Structure 1
Amino acid sequence: MGQWMEFFLKDEALGTFVPIIVYWVYSGFYVLLEHLDGYRMHTVAEEKMKNLVSKSTVVKGVLLQQLIQAMVALILLKVTGEVGESGITLQPSLMVQAIQFLIAMFVLDTWQYFLHRFMHHNKFLYRTIHSRHHRLIVPWPFGAMYNHPLEGLLLDTTGGVLSYLFSGMTPRTSIFFFTFATIKGVDDHCGLMLPGNPFHIFFGNNTAYHDIHHQHHGVKYNFSQPFFVFWDKLLGTHMPYRIVKRPDGGFEAAPAKKH
């Protein structure tokens, strides 16, 4: 028992499993709130009518992706962790870690934008792989990581590996980065416009922005994820939107202009 506790308290294990635990806790929080009709971007009836996959299938798909992700993360963090003479992972200053955070965010955004966009424009890849994620036309919190296993490996897991390696962060710093990225990804798929949400205040890439991408009129726009929108704006795939009130009291992200 003591050996297992020692293992799960190591930075490598925490960097692997904390984001997974946070995924289910944070998305579960939004699922508990999904009946707040006044803050939903889509009605319950619309969700049931439009979505093409059952919620139980979504959960099973996410668990499979997280299993693959955990195996890759454990190996990566174990191999790359720098250990000093004392046997403790060496940590850089907070300033250096902040810079590593920003580098990792840029690398992850860049990888996901171009691969995500390619999967939409390549008919074979979209039909056989990426279309699985778009079975959730109305995004659902637990479905933030619902992908084809190959897409999960290429888009999310490989993107995470590259951001980790290029930024030079340590396994301990990765605990915070990947947990933050996980929370951000879930928030983008939560389907709720809650007042005071800091992700809506500080990020242009947010719940409404990504909701546009999941709708038929926006499927070739707003590819950027999970943090910034600059690649969409630079490369002409940005669809501006406005938040409007629905007759039932909820909110909706509507295109600001036709494309």
Structure 2
Amino acid sequence: MELAVSDELLGTFVPIIIYWLYSGLYVILGNFESSDDYRLHPRSEEAKNIVSKWGVVKGVLVQQAFQIVVALSLFALVKDDSPVAKHQPPLLVVLSQILVAMVILDTWQYFMHRYMHINKFLYKHIHSKHHMLVVPYAFGALYNHPVEGLLLDTAGGAISFLASGMTPRAAIFFFSFATIKTVDDHCGLCVPWNIFHKLFGNNSAYHDIHHQLYGNKYNFSQPFFVVWDKILGTHMPYTLERRKEGGLQARPTKDK
């Protein structure tokens, strides 16, 4: 007897499973001394973080609980069991929908993220929780205040899904990819074989700048492109340099 799992359930739970598996790989990688050559911060600098690793795990689990509720509700709202609805669109259409969703998610997150820095109340009481991680961890990518998790990530994902017109099956791949990219941006490592560093200007070094005091008002874009930062003057480019004590450092440079 075969047990069928719906696309809606897969779209809800696969990104969460991928979050912990992919961030877990970085935890394992980070335990090797050879990874020190690619760290953006020495291990000793993790003491700057204001929250414990266990506190980060608990915070992420809370956000993912909200994410599950919203995702299941969203899929139930748009679910259509008609034969026409079950027809999967051509691959080119799916890819174009995913690209549209990427642009929409980037746009939503840029303006919401930037506003949470501009508004002193929102920053102090909500967004500052994410910045307790001065030295980001891969598994801390979704460590946010629950309100921010709902507004920035969950709502942004829902709007991207609805506006792009993608099917629940396409959403499995889109949300999984967005999850991998977000985890990667917070991994704290800049390894030469990482394909995301080759394809995207928005990577772990770029986002690490934002987590530092000198870059707090720059590099708001996430998780894919840097377009809005460049258009609106909040882009802080960087150069990677070797630290004397080993590892890498993303040093800000001036545009042009």
Query: Is TM-score (shorter-chain normalized) higher than 0.5?
Result: yes
Kindly provide the amino acid, as one letter, of the partner of residue 252 in structure 1: Q
Q: Which residue among 69, 72, 83 is the counterpart of 1:71?
A: 69
**Which of 6, 9, 13 is the equivalent residue of 1:13?**
9
Residue 242 of structure 1 aligns with which residue? 239
Could you tell me which residue of structure 2 aligns to residue 56 of structure 1? Answer: 54
Cα deviation, 1:177-208, whole Å, max 9, x if unaligned, reads: 00000000000000011112110000000000
Gaps spanning 5+ residues in structure 2: where?
none
Q: CA deviation at 1:79?
A: 2.0
Could you tell me how far 1:257 is from its partner in structure 2? 3.2
| C-alpha separation in 2, matches of 1:147 and 1:235 | 25
Match of 1:142 in 2: 139
In structure 2, give the amino acid aligned to 1:58: V
Runs of 4+ in 1 over 6 A off after TM superposition: none
Please identify, of 77-86 and 210-219, the stretch whose mean Cα deviation from structure 2 is larger: 77-86
Q: Percent identity?
A: 62
Q: Name the CA distance, whole Å, in 2 between partners of 1:172 and 1:83.
A: 14
Distance in 1, Cα, partners of 2:220 & 2:36: 27
Q: Distance in 2 between matches of 1:199 and 1:211?
A: 15
Q: Describe how 1:29-178 pairs up with structure 2 within 5 A.
A: 29-35=25-31, 36-48=35-47, 50-85=48-83, 89-178=86-175
- Cα offset, 1:222, TM superposition: 0.2
Contiguous gaps of at least 5 residues in structure 1: none
Query: TM-score with structure 1 length normalisation?
Result: 0.94
How do 1:172-191 residues align onto structure 2 when only pairs under 5 Å count?
172-191=169-188
Secondary structure, counterpart of 2:241 in structure 1: strand
- Alignment-derived partner of residue 207 in structure 1: 204
Structure-2 separation of matches of 1:250 and 1:85: 55
Q: How far 1:249 sits from its partner (Å)?
A: 2.1
- How many residues are treated as equivalent by the alignment? 252
User: Matches of 2:28 and 2:86 in 1, distance apart?
Assistant: 38
Distance 2:76 2:27 in 1: 34
**2:217 aligned to which of 200, 220, 242:** 220
Shift of 1:227: 0.3
Contact 1:82 1:90 in 2 (8 A): no
1:89 CA displacement? 2.4
